[in-house]
Structure formats: C-alpha cells, structure tokens
Amino acid sequence: MKLDSATMGRVELHDLIGTAMGPLPIVFVSTVGPDGTYNAAPFSFAAPICSKPAIICVSIGLRMGQKKDTIKNIEYSHDFVINSVDENIIKQTIQASADYPYGVDEIKATGLTAIKGDKVKSPRIAEARVSMECRLVQKLELMEEYKDAPGLRAIIFGEVVMAHVKDEVWVDGKLDPRRLKLIGRVGSNLYCKQGEIFELKPVKV
Ligand SMILES: Cc1cc2nc3c(=O)[nH]c(=O)nc-3n(C[C@H](O)[C@H](O)[C@H](O)COP(=O)(O)O)c2cc1C
C-alpha cells in the first residue's frame, strides 16, 4: 500500500506519523500563568534533542484557532516543567487534556499536587517520578492545517536546568526504566504499558 500525503487529511496524517513512530512519549507539561494559576497538559509530539545543554522540544498546536494555555503561559514565564507519566498518573494526565477554560488550575482539578519550581516559575507535579525544570531557549512557529483554517503551531525548545527524581527509580547512579514504568502513546486514544526491556550492545567493527 502507498499513502500519498497530498490526498490525506490532517487527522489521518496525525495518526499515521504518530503510530508509525510510536510508542511516542507522553510528557506532562506544567506551567504558570501571569495571574499565578497553575496549568498542566499532556503532549506526545515531544522529544529530547540535545544532551549538553540538555534540550527538549515540545510541539504545541492550536485549539479552535486559539493558542493553548500551555503556550500562553510559556510565552509569559519563559519556562515549563516536563513531568514523566507512569501507570500511577496516566488517568489524571489524560483528564488534564480536557478543554478546561484558561484560569482553571488543572493540577488541582485532576487531584494532583503542585510543588513550586526550584529554578523556574512553573510548578512541578509531586506525583511524577521525574520532573525536569526547563528554561525556554527558542520558539519556532510552523504553519499547519487545522479544522477551520491554517494557523501557527509552536515548537518550543527548553533547556533542562534542574531534575527531580524519586529515589525509588534511581538505581546505581541512573534512572531505572524498569521501575519508572512509563506509559507510551501508540495512536489516538491508544496507549501502551512497558513491555520486556532488553539490552543490545553496539557491534564493534
Ligand atoms: C496523550 C496526549 C498527547 C497529546 N499531545 C499533544 C501534542 O503533542 N501537541 C498538542 O498540541 N496537543 C496534544 N494533546 C492535546 C492537549 O493535551 C490538549 O489540547 C490540552 O487541552 C492542552 O491544554 P492547555 O490548553 O491547558 O495547554 C495531547 C493530548 C493527549 C491526551
């Protein structure tokens, strides 16, 4: 089968690339607005892209032609926190993707707990096993097709300036993925738990 992207719709293309490249990560991004209200939302079009400096990018689209709360807050504070999503908080994370009006504290609304950031204005989520405080280093904008009209998608690049890791997932000086039990995204409304983890050493030539 061949699929020509010129003949495909936005949702079909979203599902194709999201599933073909999956499991995608789910990052739970917590932020703060100008009035001090906390916010959190999940994003899967996200990736680590650089090690030192440690830079992570997150791609934030529009909702009904308007900027999402997360990008409004990041444009104000110039920072955000990436919280890892495991089996214990996946339900609350998905709940936070609902269209709460701007100004509703989605951390509180989902029954989670906010903790003030050490180096950034944005809060972190106490229940997450890993939280990474990030300072905005760059924002890129790309034209994208939406339901109603084309609009600008923001791709934000943040440098990790402080990481908070729960002791139970830190083994021999590093994160233990077997204990972290992250959830991945494998399609629209489809998620996966961690399967078998195995090691493959690079081949020496
Ligand atoms: C698992 C999951 C992944 C998502 N990934 C993205 C994404 O990469 N980019 C995006 O713009 N929206 C994504 N969304 C939708 C946002 O979470 C949703 O629009 C949310 O309401 C935004 O919240 P905010 O207005 O508080 O920023 C995702 C939703 C879910 C459930």
Hey, whose CA ends up nearest to atom 20 of ligand 1?
Answer: 97
pLDDT at 58: 98
CA-CA distance, 132 to 55, in Å (whole number)? 11
pLDDT at 148: 80
CA-CA distance, 174 to 196, in Å (whole number)? 19
CA-CA distance, 203 to 95, in Å (whole number)? 44
CA-CA distance, 128 to 153, in Å (whole number)? 27
Kindly give the distance from the C-alpha atom of residue 114 to the centroid of ligand 1, in angstroms, as a whole number.
19
**What DSSP string describes 67-104?**
E-HHHHHHHHHSEEEEEE-BTTTHHHHHHTTS-PPTT-
pLDDT at 154: 98
CB atoms within 10 A of CB 184: 17
pLDDT at 24: 98
pLDDT at 116: 98
Kindly give the distance from the C-alpha atom of residue 69 to the centroid of ligand 1, in angstroms, as a whole number.
10
Kindly give the distance from the C-alpha atom of residue 94 to the centroid of ligand 1, in angstroms, as a whole number.
9
Ligand 1 pocket, mutate which of 44, 73, 94, 191 (most atoms under 8 A from CB): 44
Residues near 123 by Cβ (< 8 Å), separated by ≥ 6?
30, 32, 38, 81, 107, 114, 115, 116, 117
Q: List, for residues 122-166, the tens digit of each pLDDT value.
A: 999 999 999 999 999 999 999 999 988 899 999 999 999 999 999
Helix, strand or coil, per DSSP, at residue 205: coil
pLDDT at 132: 98
Please tell me whether the overall predicted TM-score, pTM, comes out greater than 0.75 for this model.
Answer: yes
pLDDT at 71: 98
Pocket of ligand 1 from Cβ distances under 6 Å: 26, 39, 41-45, 59-61, 63, 68-70, 94, 97, 99, 106, 185
- The answer to whether the beta carbons of residues 22 and 187 sit under 8 Å apart is yes
Half-sphere exposure of 172 (CA within 13 A, CB side): 3
pLDDT at 147: 85
* Residues with pLDDT less than 50, the chain: none
Domains observed in the chain: 5-192 (2.30.110.10)
Site of tokens 């993707």: 97
pLDDT at 80: 99
Hey, whose CA ends up nearest to atom 9 of ligand 1?
Answer: 60
Hey, whose CA ends up nearest to atom 4 of ligand 1?
Answer: 43
